[in-house]
Amino acid sequence: MEHSPQRLEDGPIRTTLVAFGLAVFGIAATQVTTYPVLVLEPALADAPAETPIATRTVFFVLNFLGFVLAGAVYLRWTDRGWSFVDLRWPTRRDWRYVVGGILASILFYVVASVLIQALGLPAAESQVVDFVGDDQTMILVMIAIVFFFNAPAEEFLFRNVIQKRLYAAFSRLQAVFAASAIFAAVHLPVYVIYAESGLATAVSLSVVFGGSVVFGYLYARTDNLVVPTVAHAAFNAVQFGLLYLALEYDLEEVETPSMLLEGLAVLAVAF
């Protein structure tokens, strides 16, 4: 892959620290944006599935808007402006990457699921499952959320801002892996709380890292934020769709592995 013309502007250590700082800033921003709804509905902290769908919806929307806010502040602070955002209608080549990305992410999920089950590996529970519960209506709402808020917000911050910032000191491929490692790292606090063991945390973080590599690669190859965003949203929609069908038809012995919803952003809530 080609190197960015900004490659020599920064050293790798400073660039990595800035990128990681941006991720932490994004998580902190979600704490701020979701604070009002947590104050108004304290039950979100310990029994989110029992709260009204409207409340949970507002919580998720504000959570993902926190990522957008963090990215916007960074672009303003560094005078990069919105011209830094690689947003355009996909070309025919871009759409091929979208389709390929969806298939690759689904394949990765299937392979990871089979390996985890075959090896009997533990995995951390997903916080999102607590919010969805067995509410089919909420699952449908989540499908809309991933298309309009989750995928756009995550891809904007972690791909167009963080990964692109890493181009200043790394090759495209190196930046993909570095951004994915950062994305996995910010999940660590949640999995430390939810996982029953260190191995479960490691397994879940590996799944998060692998999925992030797929979407990061799409962005690196196309320089178009729409490509990983659409692929990411479609992948999560498929996951939620499968969960909806499992509940709709009351499939017996259906388990919801923790990685089912790993593609969603960290819920930055101090539970």
pLDDT value for 84: 96
Q: Cβ contacts of residue 32 below 8 Å, gap of 6+?
A: 66
Question: How many domains would you assign to the chain?
Answer: 1
Distance of CA 226 to the CA centre of its chain: 15
Domain ranges, residue 26 = 12-261
Whether the CB-CB separation of 34 and 67 falls below 8 Å is answered with: no
pLDDT value for 108: 94
CA pair distance 94, 100, nearest whole angstrom: 10
- Tens digits of per-residue pLDDT, 105-124? 999 999 998 999 899 988 77
pLDDT value for 268: 31
pLDDT value for 251: 66
Q: Is residue 69 part of a domain?
A: yes
Question: Which parts of the chain register pLDDT below 50?
Answer: 1-8, 253-271
Q: Which amino acid is at 92?
A: R
Q: Is residue 266 part of a domain?
A: no
Whether the CB-CB separation of 37 and 62 falls below 8 Å is answered with: yes
CA atoms within 13 A on the CB side of 235: 31
Q: Is residue 3 part of a domain?
A: no
Place of tokens 């529970």: 125
pLDDT value for 195: 65
Q: Is residue 76 part of a domain?
A: yes
For the chain, helix (H) and strand (E) counts, in that order, are 11, 0
